[in-house]
With several copies, the nearest count.
Chain A
Amino acid sequence: MVSNVNTYKDLTPARPLDRATLNKMVWRSLFLQASFNYERMQAAGWLYGILPGLEKIHTNKEDLSASMGHNLEFFNTHPFLVTFVMGIVLSLEQQKADIPTIRAVRVAAMGPLGGIGDAIFWFTLLPITAGITANMALEGNIIAPFLFLVVFNVVQFAVRYWLMYWSYDLGTTAIEVLTRNAKEFTHAASMLGVFVVGALTCNYGATTIRIALQNGESVIDVQGILDGVLPQLVPLSLTLMVYFLIKKKGWSTIKCIGLLLVIGIIGAAFGIWGGNYTPLVEWYTLPA
């Protein structure tokens, strides 16, 4: 709900937030996605997270209401990086900045941080830690899950704490830094993100072609031929296809997921995709 109040009643800057409140909000940030939903995504979880700060800042009921109102608008970012947005927004709230300014900063920060966070945490940190420890688990090493939890969470908490304090302390300076070269920063960060996603497409490509034909003495192995053209050609093509559907055709992700389900099952019916199964239609015999 876009609030129609533009300035707070009480424009006297509030007292800076104390350590205890900041810490409390770091902990609350862990529940950013509690009420995740398709309409406003993390909005209510975001508000839940900064409430302790807002309550200290807005002693006046009207202002608290106004602040809660605009902090319930659509919000979505990477959970581990949310404290950075919290710090900046709270420092603006404390100084009783104009609500449109606060909104603009919140929206400007959440987008790039979402993309970067996904690339770094979901697609880099997680696969590395979970991948290595999963292999240890397969060798029967019971340390594996503990090691995974420790490394992953040490990073997570370090990031959450540090960003909260850093961005709140910098206060408006942070915004200055962020806004002065924001376009350049976003561009560079996106470059990094896109580069990593390109690598992921190749690295985690998980779709192979099963088709192989006996041709006299030799075997025509379709996957082998494709690998000679470009490794991970199929994953790349599928990713680009999904991207195209989302970007140019405006498909929702749920629709894309449905399409991939269909492609997966129909392909398996004809023995196209790799895996350990018997196709419905066996139009070729796998060479021994």
Chain B
Amino acid sequence: MIGPLQLVLILVVTFIAAIDQFNFLESLYQPIVMGPVVGAILGDITTGLAVGGAYQLMQIGSMPVGGAQPPNAVVGGIMATVFAVVSGLDVNAALGASVPFALLGQYGVTLTFTLMSGLMAKADEEAANANPAGIVKLNYFAMALLGLLFAGATLVGVISITNPTVSDFISSLDGNWIMGGLSAAGGMMRYVGFAVLMRIMLADDMWGIYFAGFALAAILGAAGLGGPALVLVAFVGIAIALYDYNINVSIKNAGGGSGGVSDGI
């Protein structure tokens, strides 16, 4: 059902998206883009668009922060589109069926990040030799590695699901509790992102502001302002931040530098 040219094109797109997820535009790889692109390759751009949009909404807020990897949207998004167009699953089922591949992608990233740690000694060597070309090459190599790993994962995915046994099995998973659990877990990944941000930024005196932000979002949601919520949150947040900055600068100047930002209770 997938011709060889189509397969090659999908692998090329995967290669690019894998790199783009951390480099270059850091946006091409998003499901809302990959969905229609893969859809177009497979001859059904409309379905691709629908899957891409749905996947995008599902994973909104699950971003890598400080390097923490949620289930991977690149492999996930591409495979969901393949499921919908080729296996004919409906959008929801396609989303569910793609979860194991998203986990595979997550694993691929973690693997690359671990392997690349080993190459840092090599980088130090190039630095010691004042050899810029070596640094350049090392970076290119890492991107190629990630791209190839992802293309490989997608290849395995595409081939296996065109195999009737596998695809029957996967379809049968729809509505299964494991899939339900993976989806639920997928939705929870963003909390890791939030927690990491809090570890970075939240000083002891800022717990209140965290809960205040929560409260504001709750109000906006209940008032039917879910859409512009974040813009309005930013408005209020900027007011608070500017005020905080000005007051603390005033305090510092008043006190000849001895005071300044308090260190919490």
A and B touching (C-beta < 8 Å)? yes
- Considering the chains assembled together, what is the distance between the CA atoms of A137 and B188 in angstroms? 24
Answer whether residue A153 sits at the interface, using C-beta atoms and an 8 A cutoff: yes
* Alpha-carbon distance between A122 and B190 when the two chains are bound, in angstroms: 11
Chain A, Cβ-Cβ closest to B114: A38
Residue from the list B66, B135, B187, B217 in contact with A199, Cβ < 8 A: B217
A230: Cβ under 8 A from any B Cβ = yes
The secondary structure that dominates the B interface is helix
Segment 224-257 of B: residues with Cβ below 8 Å from A: 225-234, 236-238, 240-242, 244-245, 248-249, 252
Q: Which chain A residues border B177 with CB–CB below 8 Å?
A: 265, 268-269, 271, 277-280
Structural contact, A127 and B135, CB atoms closer than 8 A: no
Per the bound structure, the CA–CA distance linking A28 and B202 in Å amounts to 32
In the complex, which residues 104-118 of chain A have their Cβ closer than 8 Å to any Cβ of chain B?
111-112, 114-116, 118
A156 cross-chain contacts in B, Cβ below 8 A: 25-27
Given the complex, which residues of A lie within 8 Å of B221, measured CB to CB?
202-203, 231
Total interface residues in chain A, CB < 8 Å: 126
A195→B56 contact, CB < 8 A: no
Contact A243 B241 (CB under 8 A): no
B200 touches A256 (CB 8 A): no
Contacts A35-B138, A38-B67, A276-B175; A149 near B33 (Cβ below 8 A): yes
Interface readout for A160-176 with B: 1 if CB under 8 Å, 0 if not? 00000000000000000
User: Would you call A284 an interface residue if the criterion is a C-beta within 8 Å of the partner chain's C-beta atoms?
Assistant: no
Selected contact of B61 from candidates A44, A192, A206, CB within 8 Å: A206
| A192 and B237 contact, Cβ closer than 8 Å, known pairs A35-B142, A36-B116, A76-B67 | yes
- Interchain CB contact under 8 A, B60 and A131: yes
Q: Mark A228-263, 1 if CB is under 8 A from B, else 0.
A: 111110011011101101110000011011001101
Partner-binding segment picked from B8-16, B80-88, B151-159, B178-186? B178-186
Query: B166: CB under 8 A from chain A?
Result: no
| Total chain B interface residues with beta-carbon distance under 8 A | 123
Residue A181 interfacial (CB < 8 Å)? yes
Contact yes or no, B218 A231, CB < 8 A: yes
Q: Is A131 a contact partner of B33 (Cβ separation < 8 A)?
A: no
**What residues of chain A lie closer than 8 Å to B194, measured between beta carbons?**
197, 200-201, 239, 242-243
Q: Smallest Cβ distance from B145 to chain A, in angstroms?
A: 9
Contact flag A38-B117 (CB < 8 Å), given A200-B61, A267-B184: yes
- Cross-chain contact of B228 among A118, A194, A201, A231 (Cβ < 8 A): A231
Kindly state the separation between the CA atoms of A275 and B46 in the bound complex, as whole angstroms: 25
* Residues in chain A near residue B245, CB distance under 8 A: 181, 184-185, 187-188
- Docked-complex contact B120 and A44, CB < 8 angstroms: yes
A37 at the binding interface (Cβ < 8 Å): yes
CB distance from B9 to the nearest CB of A (A): 17
Partner of A44 from B92, B138, B185, B192 at Cβ < 8 Å: B138
The 8 A CB mask of B26-42 against A (1 = contact, 0 = none) is 11101011011000000
A123→B67 CA distance, assembly (Å):
15
| Contact A31:B127 (CB < 8 A) given known A187-B244, A192-B241, A267-B181 | no
Query: Which B residues are CB-close (under 8 A) to A97?
Result: none
Residues of A with C-beta under 8 A to B233: 124, 195-196, 199, 203
**Contact in complex: B123, A33 (CB < 8 Å):** no
Q: Is the CB of B206 within 8 A of A203?
A: no
Interchain nearest-CB distance for A268 vs B (Å):
3
Report B188-223 residues with CB < 8 Å from chain A CB.
Answer: 188-203, 206, 209-218, 220-222
Flag the segment in A7-15, A18-26, A61-69, A86-94 that touches B. A61-69
Q: Which residues of A contact B202 (CB under 8 A)?
A: 190, 194, 197
Give the docked Cα–Cα distance between A260 and B103 (Å): 13
* A136 to B230 Cα, complex, angstroms: 19
Q: Is A198 an interface residue (CB 8 A)?
A: yes
- Cross-chain contact of B234 among A40, A47, A153, A196 (Cβ < 8 A): A196
Beyond A40-B117, A191-B240, A203-B233, 13 additional contacts (C-beta under 8 Å) are A33-B22, A48-B135, A72-B120, A119-B197, A145-B32, A148-B30, A156-B26, A187-B244, A196-B233, A197-B210, A242-B195, A246-B196, A256-B195
